[in-house]
């Protein structure tokens, strides 16, 4: 069998993830054919040649002898390239993230020119230097990752990376707390952070301001429209914006309208949008459930916060720190006077009624046939279920769309019930309990 597959051009290799059973290899061939109209051809070392004759032969063989379901793999598409530079990116929390700039190279169907190196320790661990030839691949078929350095090809001219001691954007000192991996800029009003804050505030899951992306924000800061914080957004005028490079009356009108629309978002979104450390979507929703508004939240004693389920000392402290700062309190005042809704009537606590999916934990991977993630999530929650972000023993169902990620492997490993995307959508409509398959 091994020779048979080898003759077909399949390769068997020994390292890395991506274990696939023969059935999966064949399935992959067919999916490829569906998408591209022909069977897989040679791509960067991954050789699969299947004629229609052979196709039948493989299928026949497998159905007669299921014990041939051995682990075979595609060769992980790995290529080498050169690290041209390592640059620092600054996020909204002030974190300095080193990113490798690579000689552009094709990996698994797309051109990769950058890869995040996460932090200083990671660079040290892998000993990555500027000028090094490195092996890269795409983790989970998407994210470029530097796997290792080819040290044999070192010439001695490689430059070791040194984390700067001042912020590359604002020149303030940076600090790295003892025991932490992340280095941060110390200046709370660093422009890079302002940029990040605005982006976060405007993002879809926060205040959802359409038309305000990275480039626009940079421009607005450079032109002085934004200089303090997110409240500056609400002072912008159509006529002034329309004067900007690349903006016309149409764009300016749309942008101002989008900003206007953001004044009426649910409280949990506003809390999330403020960008308090350790307060993401989930924690923001918990806080919005407990309190009627941002102002009330700003006055809650630490002790009380800590008593809330899922909120511990660190998160409580972080919230307390945020509201102890004058500039943040001013920000909230400014938002309020701009007309942003900072208060929400408490809804009547709904009776916890037993629903079809009550107590069930769902996780989603891949793309669903007709709905997106948020829609699927809303449906699950409306039926009493919960949606988690990673597969664990507590997961009841994994919903699998096309092009699933590593969550599927994990689910198989743990014996979690797998529900196909189509199947899920039918369940949602007919209000039934997923059956799914066990691997």
Partner DNA sequence: TGGTGCTATGAGTGTCGATT
Partner DNA sequence: AATCGACACTCATAGCACCA
User: Which residues ranging from 328 to 347 are in contact with DNA (CB under 7 A)?
Assistant: none
Q: Which of 79, 139, 148, 163 binds DNA (CB under 7 A)?
A: 139
CA distance 362 to 419: 10
Length of the chain as a residue count:
439
Q: How far is the CB of 288 from DNA (least distance, A)?
A: 12
Of 258-277, binders to DNA (CB under 7 A) are: 275-277
Q: Is 98 exposed, middle or buried (0-12, 13-18, 19+ CB in 10 A)?
A: buried
Q: How far is the CB of 72 from DNA (least distance, A)?
A: 20
Of 77-116, binders to DNA (CB under 7 A) are: 89-95, 97, 99, 109-116
72 beta partners: 20
| By CB under 7 A, residue 121 contacts DNA | yes
| By CB under 7 A, residue 49 contacts DNA | no
Q: Which of 2, 143, 330, 426 binds DNA (CB under 7 A)?
A: 143
Tell how strand 19-21 and strand 110-116 pair up. unpaired
Tell how strand 129-130 and strand 133-139 pair up. unpaired
Q: How far is the CB of 24 from DNA (least distance, A)?
A: 16
Q: Which of 40, 77, 144, 385 binds DNA (CB under 7 A)?
A: 144
Of 409-438, binders to DNA (CB under 7 A) are: none
Q: How far is the CB of 217 from DNA (least distance, A)?
A: 7
Q: How far is the CB of 287 from DNA (least distance, A)?
A: 10
Of 241-260, binders to DNA (CB under 7 A) are: 245-252, 254
C-alpha distances in Å from residue 174, one per residue of 166, 171, 177, 190, 302: 5, 9, 10, 11, 28
CA angle 275, 281, 282 (to 5 degrees): 130
Q: Which lies closer to DNA via its Cβ, residue 312 or residue 415?
A: 312
| By CB under 7 A, residue 280 contacts DNA | yes
CA distance 130 to 100: 8
Q: Which lies closer to DNA via its Cβ, residue 45 or residue 312?
A: 312
Q: Which lies closer to DNA via its Cβ, residue 276 or residue 427?
A: 276
Q: Which lies closer to DNA via its Cβ, residue 58 or residue 174?
A: 174
C-alpha distances in Å from residue 270, one per residue of 42, 88, 305, 343: 50, 29, 18, 10
> Is residue 261 a contact partner of residue 245, using CB atoms and an 8 Å limit?
no
Q: Which of 134, 368, 399, 428 binds DNA (CB under 7 A)?
A: 368
Q: Which lies closer to DNA via its Cβ, residue 49 or residue 278?
A: 278
Of 390-409, binders to DNA (CB under 7 A) are: 390-395, 401, 403-407
Q: Is 116 exposed, middle or buried (0-12, 13-18, 19+ CB in 10 A)?
A: middle
- Of 151-159, 204-212, 352-360, 429-437, the segment contacting DNA by CB under 7 A is 204-212
Q: Which of 288, 311, 331, 398 binds DNA (CB under 7 A)?
A: 311
| Phi, psi dihedral angles at 353 (to 5 degrees) | -90, 145
Q: Which lies closer to DNA via its Cβ, residue 3 or residue 178?
A: 178
- Of 30-38, 70-78, 136-144, 226-234, the segment contacting DNA by CB under 7 A is 136-144
Q: Which of 54, 61, 182, 338 binds DNA (CB under 7 A)?
A: 182
| By CB under 7 A, residue 320 contacts DNA | no
> Is residue 106 a contact partner of residue 46, using CB atoms and an 8 Å limit?
no
C-alpha distances in Å from residue 194, one per residue of 69, 133, 144, 426: 54, 36, 27, 45
User: What is the total count of residues that contact DNA (CB under 7 A)?
Assistant: 95
Q: How far is the CB of 56 from DNA (least distance, A)?
A: 31
| By CB under 7 A, residue 213 contacts DNA | yes
Q: Which lies closer to DNA via its Cβ, residue 48 or residue 315?
A: 315
Give the count of beta carbons closer than 10 Å to the beta carbon of residue 243: 10
Binding mask 374-393 for DNA (x = CB under 7 A): x-------------xxxxxx
Q: Which of 118, 133, 263, 383 binds DNA (CB under 7 A)?
A: 118
């Amino acid at each position: 069998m091994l020779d048979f597959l080898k003759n077909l051009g399949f390769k068997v290799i020994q390292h890395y993830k991506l274990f696939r059973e023969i059935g999966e290899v064949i399935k992959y061939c067919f999916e490829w054919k569906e998408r591209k109209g022909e069977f897989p051809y040679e791509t960067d070392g991954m050789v699969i040649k299947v004629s229609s004759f052979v196709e039948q032969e493989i299928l026949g063989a497998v159905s007669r002898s299921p014990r041939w379901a051995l682990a075979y793999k595609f060769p992980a598409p790995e290529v080498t390239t050169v690290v041209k530079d390592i640059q620092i990116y600054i996020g909204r929390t002030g974190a300095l993230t080193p990113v490798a700039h690579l000689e552009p190279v094709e990996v698994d169907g797309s051109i990769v020119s950058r890869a995040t190196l996460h932090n200083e320790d990671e660079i040290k661990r892998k000993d990555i230097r500027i000028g090094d030839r490195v092996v890269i691949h795409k983790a989970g078929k998407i994210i470029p990752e530097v796997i290792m350095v080819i040290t044999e090809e070192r010439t001695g001219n490689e430059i070791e990376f040194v984390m700067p001691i001042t912020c590359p954007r604002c020149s303030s000192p940076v600090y790295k707390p003892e025991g932490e991996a992340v280095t941060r800029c110390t200046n709370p009003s660093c422009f890079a952070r302002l940029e990040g804050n605005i982006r976060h505030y405007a993002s879809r899951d926060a205040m959802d301001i359409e038309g305000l992306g990275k480039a626009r924000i940079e421009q607005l800061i450079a032109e002085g429209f934004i200089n303090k914080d997110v409240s500056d957004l609400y002072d912008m005028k159509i006529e002034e914006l329309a004067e900007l490079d690349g903006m016309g009356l149409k764009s300016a009108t749309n942008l101002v309208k989008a900003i206007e629309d953001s004044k009426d978002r649910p409280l949990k979104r506003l809390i999330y949008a403020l960008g308090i450390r350790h307060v993401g979507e989930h924690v923001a929703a918990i806080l919005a459930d407990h309190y009627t508004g941002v102002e009330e939240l700003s006055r809650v004693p630490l002790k009380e916060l800590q008593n809330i389920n899922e909120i511990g000392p660190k998160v409580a402290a972080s919230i307390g720190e945020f509201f102890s700062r004058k500039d943040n309190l001013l920000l909230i005042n400014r938002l309020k006077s701009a007309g942003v809704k900072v208060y929400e009537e408490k809804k009547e606590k709904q009776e916890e009624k037993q629903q079809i999916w009550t107590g069930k934990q769902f996780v989603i991977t891949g793309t669903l046939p007709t709905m997106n993630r948020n829609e699927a999530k809303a449906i699950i929650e409306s039926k009493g279920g919960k949606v988690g972000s990673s597969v664990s023993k507590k997961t009841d169902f994994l919903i699998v769309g096309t092009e699933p990620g590593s969550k599927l492997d994990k689910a198989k490993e743990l014996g979690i019930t797998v529900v196909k995307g189509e199947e899920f959508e039918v369940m949602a409509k007919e209000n039934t309990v997923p059956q799914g398959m066990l691997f």
